[in-house]
């Protein structure tokens, strides 16, 4: 099974951004998707660093793809989206808006924010040129299996969410701006202070969600460490690791060792929560009754008052 | 052209109430997971749907059937059958969101008019034109993330009709792109047609304080005699950094009644009312109100004052994303 | 802030006190008979309950000195009136006029709930199913009760007539509530 690094979901400074991809060049991942997924206002801060990062990663032998925005509404966002293919690397569409802008006949990949829930949509995307689909994190294992089986017939590789705070929703409204009583147009980049999203707790103090500008994530970090055998059997060919600010290359090493059978799921899960004591894990979307559940032994749903 | 009022009906009785109250069009769904209001006790079996369509047609109203969840892998036949049955029932159109299902309907039921559901969150002219060209979609229900100006700009660039929400519950997230509910309850709008389902709601009253919990998480806490909003996840009261409040959205509901003239100028064809889960009494009142509003507009009279506040969640109203500052 | 539907009248306390001495067993029998008539004339009502068609509902008119158990029993309903709080899977509490107004479609359940004139406890999904099923049935309780025979027919009809008079006007003419 391959490892794909998904696009960074958060707003990092240009230097942190560059440093992250420089480090990633020497880590044991197969594929890197980069670019701005969440908010078009962030892009100018590091846009000029993208070509160099792509070159570095390709030089290091990685497959590289460029993501589209997750929600395209404004004129400048439409323009950005239409220009994606000009960078010369594969495009990962995370909003179907990107699809009509791809050059006729070009191959593309599909990110987890496009609603691929079934084999009909998979087949339709394949007919348009999709060769790789990272499924929405919400999908249960049974759906993953059905889709991967059809994907194998149609030459589409299936990837699932392997690690990171789960992207649960995208909105027209910026919650970071709202929290600071600002409008989105005058947000003053409030999200920059939260390199892994801002924790949202219930009134009882229970960890719940994380806000990231216009995006809402889970409090828990999705973690497929206990699911590798099931996913392999289901025909999944890649795990997606979503960037976080701390210990990410260690994390790539851990998952690589896990896929190579050198360590077990419990070891990986333990090491992940060791990186940061504010990390709680979940894998319930795949096999639990609900997304927040965790098949490891860490008690998660008890209120931490 | 008078603007088309598109009204919800969760039951045959609500459908009849809506038609009698002057709805140009009613939308409803089958009683299964194929529609995005798959609530206990709601919706239409096949016979009720056929009768409902016949009743509406006899009174000069249209019926749209929402098949707007995303088919479950390996079980697409349930959704395919719903599309086929919608055509047999005489529906004037189906409202679809899933590209695979749109593709299926376009190929197998080309004569059945297709509308793009708000659940597809088609938020710009490029993607709307793409849906129109690819699946011959005739109308797009716009997601509730756009301002009136943006809607006008979109309409200038597309050929198909647009329908916008003017009243009722308000998704603060882009529709069809939210899995908050399944994260907490295992059931989601996209897969199961429910958001923050009642089966996972628990109310606890203690010393005059009412906690509304969903899947074990406290979403609201209100004092005695305060309005008690339903614990919809995105409208809950939470804490982040040193602040506590409705971080995503207040427990308000949408009322764009006073924006109807602007929406007409923006080129909108149809005005949609949310609330298939609401009673026939609600439906009749809201429909009467909006019908009067569009008739007044057509006659060149001023908009009548609204009487709808009492029917709303938490009894507060917003114009949502239609005004840009909402963002 | 809150604008409770203050227009919903309460059952007059004097009459409510009088109801304390009404024998409950015959009342239960009458209401059971009535509910079975409804089941016959509105079979869809019970079908709409779906998975909740064996759920025990507690209907609690807060202004009356008893609660009503409704057991749909798969379409052969049983109604039992008891004193005290009662215990069931789902409880819907509110003034009698609100409960009856709900049945007659004079009120919207969500609106009553938001204003807390109506309180749901226990299995919210079941309560919702019942609400929706009843809303679709377009019942006329006074007509249903009129079909009851026996010694309680008269008082029950008066009860309904009273409540109906109230709910029929309270949405638009709240001042009437004071006049009582």
Residue C158's pLDDT is what? 72
Q: How confident is the model at residue B94 (pLDDT cuts 50, 70, 90)?
A: very high
Q: How confident is the model at residue C150 (pLDDT cuts 50, 70, 90)?
A: low
Residue C115's pLDDT is what? 73
Mean pLDDT of C121-138: 90
- In this complex, the residue of B73, B174, B234 whose CB is nearest that of residue A118 is B73
B180–A contact, CB cutoff 8 A: yes
| pLDDT beyond 90 at B37 | no
In a domain, B192, yes or no: yes
Instruction: Give the residue among C25, C103, C112, C11 at the shortest CA–CA distance from C64.
Output: C11
Domain count, chain A: 1
Residue B318's pLDDT is what? 82
Pair (B190, B229) in one structural domain: yes
| pLDDT beyond 90 at C17 | no
Residue C110's pLDDT is what? 75
Cα(B219)–Cα(B201) distance, rounded to whole angstroms?
10
Residue C146's pLDDT is what? 72
Question: Would you say the C-alpha torsion A21, A24, A29, A30 has a positive or negative sign?
Answer: positive
**How close B52 comes to chain A (CA, Å)?**
30
| pLDDT beyond 90 at B176 | yes
- In this complex, the residue of B125, B126, B182 whose CB is nearest that of residue A138 is B182
| pLDDT beyond 90 at A30 | yes
CA dihedral C22, C26, C30, C33 (to 10 degrees): 160
Residue B312's pLDDT is what? 52
Helix, strand, or coil (residue B74): coil
Confirm if A29 and A251 have CB atoms less than 8 A apart: no
Cβ of B215: how many Cβ atoms within 10 Å?
Answer: 25
Q: How confident is the model at residue C7 (pLDDT cuts 50, 70, 90)?
A: low
Helix, strand, or coil (residue C56): coil
Residue, of A71 and C148, whose pLDDT is higher: A71
Mean pLDDT of A113-136: 98
Confirm if A28 and A239 have CB atoms less than 8 A apart: no
Pair (B238, B262) in one structural domain: no
Least-confidence region, from A299-303, B190-194, B260-264: A299-303
Domain CATH for B302: 3.20.20.70
Chain B, window 55-74: residues with a beta carbon less than 8 angstroms from a chain A beta carbon:
70-74
Q: How confident is the model at residue C12 (pLDDT cuts 50, 70, 90)?
A: confident
Residue B207's pLDDT is what? 84
Pair (B18, B152) in one structural domain: yes
Query: CA gyration radius for chain B?
Result: 19
Joined together, the tokens standing for residue B326 give 């909402």
**Residue % of chain C over a pLDDT of 90:** 34
Cβ of B243: how many Cβ atoms within 10 Å?
Answer: 11
Query: CA gyration radius for chain C?
Result: 15
Mean pLDDT of A99-125: 96
Cα(C25)–Cα(C35) distance, rounded to whole angstroms?
15
| pLDDT beyond 60 at C83 | yes
Tell me if C4 and B225 make a contact (CB, 8 A cut-off).
Answer: yes
Q: Judge residue B264's burial from the number of C-beta atoms within 10 Å of its C-beta, 0-12 exposed, 13-18 middle, 19 or more buried.
A: middle
C121: closest chain B residue by CA: B203
Task: Name the superfamily (CATH) of residues C13-170.
Answer: SCP2 sterol-binding domain (3.30.1050.10)
| pLDDT beyond 60 at C125 | yes
Residue B226's pLDDT is what? 76
Residue B309's pLDDT is what? 54
Q: How confident is the model at residue C179 (pLDDT cuts 50, 70, 90)?
A: very low
Tell me if A179 and B130 make a contact (CB, 8 A cut-off).
Answer: no
Joined together, the tokens standing for residue A212 give 């990231």
Q: Tell me, rounded to whole angstroms, the distance of Cα C33 from its chain centroid.
A: 16
Cα(A218)–Cα(B121) distance, rounded to whole angstroms?
21
Residue A297's pLDDT is what? 58
Preferred mutation among A98, A102, A213, A291 to probe B, highest tally of B CBs within 10 A: A291
Of B245, B260, B276, the residue that ends a domain is B245
**How close A81 comes to chain B (CA, Å)?**
10
Mean pLDDT of C162-174: 44
Q: Which positions ≥6 away from A163 have C-beta within 8 Å?
A: A221, A222, A223, A224, A239, A240, A241, A242, A251, A255, A272
Residue B143's pLDDT is what? 92
pLDDT in tens, A51-80: 999 999 999 999 999 999 999 999 999 999
Residue C104's pLDDT is what? 77
Cα(B46)–Cα(B52) distance, rounded to whole angstroms?
10
| pLDDT beyond 50 at C2 | no
Locate all alpha helices (DSSP H) within chain A, ordered by sequence: 14-24, 50-59, 75-82, 119-128, 141-154, 175-179, 228-234, 248-259, 265-275, 284-287
Pair (B233, B288) in one structural domain: no
Pair (B27, B126) in one structural domain: yes
- Chains near B with 3+ CB pairs less than 8 A apart are A, C
Residue, of C131 and A156, whose pLDDT is higher: A156
pLDDT in tens, A172-193: 899 999 999 988 888 889 999 9
Strand intervals (E) in chain C: 57-61, 67-71, 78-82, 90-94, 119-122
Mean pLDDT of A150-172: 97
Chain B residues closer than 8 Å to A95 by CB? 127
In a domain, B16, yes or no: yes
Least-confidence region, from A123-132, B138-147, B308-317, C126-135: B308-317
Cα(A273)–Cα(A221) distance, rounded to whole angstroms?
10
- Per domain, the residue ranges of chain C are 13-170
Cβ of C116: how many Cβ atoms within 10 Å?
Answer: 18
In a domain, B175, yes or no: no
Domain CATH for A80: 3.20.20.70
B322: closest chain A residue by CA: A172
DSSP bridge pairs for B6: B25, B272
Q: How confident is the model at residue B313 (pLDDT cuts 50, 70, 90)?
A: very low
Pair (B234, B295) in one structural domain: no
Of B245, B275, B295, the residue that ends a domain is B245
Cα(A16)–Cα(A245) distance, rounded to whole angstroms?
9
Tell me if A146 and B104 make a contact (CB, 8 A cut-off).
Answer: no
Query: CA gyration radius for chain A?
Result: 18
Mean pLDDT of A252-264: 97
Residue, of B192 and C15, whose pLDDT is higher: B192
B40–A contact, CB cutoff 8 A: no
Residue, of B80 and B229, whose pLDDT is higher: B80
Least-confidence region, from A67-71, A102-106, A150-154: A102-106
**How close A127 comes to chain B (CA, Å)?**
11
Q: How confident is the model at residue C5 (pLDDT cuts 50, 70, 90)?
A: very low
Q: Tell me, rounded to whole angstroms, the distance of Cα B170 from its chain centroid.
A: 8
Report ipTM (2 d.p.). 0.94
Helix, strand, or coil (residue B167): strand
Cα(A33)–Cα(B139) distance, rounded to whole angstroms?
34
Domain count, chain B: 2
Domain range holding B236? 180-245
Residue C10's pLDDT is what? 80
């Amino acid at each position: 099974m391959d490892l794909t690094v998904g696009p960074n979901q958060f707003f990092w400074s240009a230097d942190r951004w560059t440093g992250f991809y420089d480090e990633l060049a020497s880590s044991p991942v197969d594929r890197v998707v980069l670019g701005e997924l969440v908010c078009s206002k962030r892009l100018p801060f590091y846009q000029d660093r993208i070509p160099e990062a792509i070159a570095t990663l390709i030089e290091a032998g990685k497959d590289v793809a460029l993501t589209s925005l997750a929600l395209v509404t404004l004129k400048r966002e439409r323009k950005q989206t239409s220009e994606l293919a000009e960078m010369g690397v594969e495009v990962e569409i995370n909003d179907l808006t990107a699809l009509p802008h791809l050059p006729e006949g070009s191959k593309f990949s599909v990110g987890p924010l496009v609603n691929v829930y079934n084999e009909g949509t998979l087949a339709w995307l394949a007919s348009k040129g999709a060769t790789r689909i990272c499924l929405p994190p919400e999908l249960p294992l049974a759906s993953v299996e059905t889709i991967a089986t059809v994907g194998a017939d149609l030459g589409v590789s299936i990837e699932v969410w392997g690690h990171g705070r789960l992207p649960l929703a995208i909105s027209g409204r910026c919650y970071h701006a709202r929290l600071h009583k600002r409008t989105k147009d005058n947000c003053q980049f409030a999200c920059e202070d939260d390199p892994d999203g801002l924790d949202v707790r219930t009134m009882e103090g229970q960890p719940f969600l994380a806000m990231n500008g216009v995006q809402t994530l889970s409090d828990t970090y999705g973690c497929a460490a206990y699911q590798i055998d099931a996913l392999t059997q289901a025909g999944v060919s890649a795990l997606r690791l979503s960037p976080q600010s701390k210990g990410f290359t260690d994390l790539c090493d851990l998952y690589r060792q896990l896929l190579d059978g050198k360590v077990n799921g419990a070891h990986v899960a333990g090491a992940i929560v060791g990186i940061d004591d504010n990390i709680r894990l979940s894998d319930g979307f795949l096999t639990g009754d609900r997304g927040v559940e965790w098949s490891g032994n860490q008690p998660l749903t008890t209120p931490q008052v | 052209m008078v603007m088309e009022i598109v009204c919800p009906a969760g039951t045959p009785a609500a459908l009849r109430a809506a038609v009698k109250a002057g709805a140009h069009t009613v939308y409803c769904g089958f009683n299964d997971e194929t529609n995005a209001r798959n609530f206990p006790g709601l919706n239409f079996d096949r016979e009720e749907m056929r009768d409902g369509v016949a009743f509406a047609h006899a009174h000069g109203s249209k019926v749209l059937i929402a098949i707007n969840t995303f088919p479950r892998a390996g079980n697409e036949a349930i959704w395919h059958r719903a599309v086929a049955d919608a055509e047999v029932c005489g529906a004037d159109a189906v409202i679809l969101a899933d590209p695979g299902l749109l593709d299926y309907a376009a190929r197998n039921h080309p004569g059945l008019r297709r509308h793009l559901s708000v659940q597809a969150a088609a938020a710009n002219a490029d993607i709307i034109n793409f849906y129109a060209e690819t699946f011959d979609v005739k109308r797009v229900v716009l997601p509730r993330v756009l301002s009136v100006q943006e809607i006008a700009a979109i309409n200038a660039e597309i050929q198909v009709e647009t329908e916008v929400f003017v009243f009722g519950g308000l998704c603060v997230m882009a529709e069809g792109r939210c899995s908050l509910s399944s994260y907490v309850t295992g059931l989601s709008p996209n897969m199961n047609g429910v958001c923050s389902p009642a089966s996972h709601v628990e109310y606890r009253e203690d010393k005059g304080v009412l906690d509304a919990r969903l899947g074990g998480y406290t979403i609201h806490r209100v004092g005695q005699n305060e309005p008690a909003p339903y614990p919809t996840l995105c409208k809950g009261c939470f804490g982040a950094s040193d602040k506590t409040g409705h971080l995503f959205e207040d427990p308000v509901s949408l009322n764009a009644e006073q924006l109807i003239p602007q929406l007409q100028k923006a080129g909108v064809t149809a005005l949609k009312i949310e609330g298939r889960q609401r009673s026939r009494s609600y439906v009749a009142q809201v429909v009467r109100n909006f019908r009067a509003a569009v008739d007044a507009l057509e006659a060149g009279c001023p908009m009548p004052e609204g009487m709808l506040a009492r029917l709303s969640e938490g009894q507060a109203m917003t114009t949502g994303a239609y005004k840009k500052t909402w963002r | 802030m809150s604008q409770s539907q203050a227009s919903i009248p309460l059952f007059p306390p004097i009459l409510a006190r009088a109801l304390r001495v009404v024998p409950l067993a015959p009342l239960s029998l009458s209401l059971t008979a009535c509910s079975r008539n409804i089941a016959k004339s509105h079979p869809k009502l019970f079908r709409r309950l779906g998975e909740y068609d064996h759920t025990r509902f507690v209907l609690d008119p807060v202004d009356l000195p008893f609660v009503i158990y409704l057991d749909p029993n798969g379409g052969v309903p049983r109604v039992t009136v008891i004193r005290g709080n009662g215990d069931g899977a789902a409880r819907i509490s509110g003034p009698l006029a609100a409960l009856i107004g709900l049945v007659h479609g004079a009120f919207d359940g969500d609106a009553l709930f938001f204003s807390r004139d109506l309180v749901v406890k226990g299995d919210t999904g079941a309560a919702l199913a019942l609400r929706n099923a009843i809303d679709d049935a377009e019942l006329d309780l006074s007509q249903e009760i009129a079909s009851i025979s026996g010694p309680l027919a008269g008082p029950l009809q008066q009860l309904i007539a009273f409540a109906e008079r109230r709910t029929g006007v309270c949405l638009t003419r709240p001042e009437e509530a004071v006049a009582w």
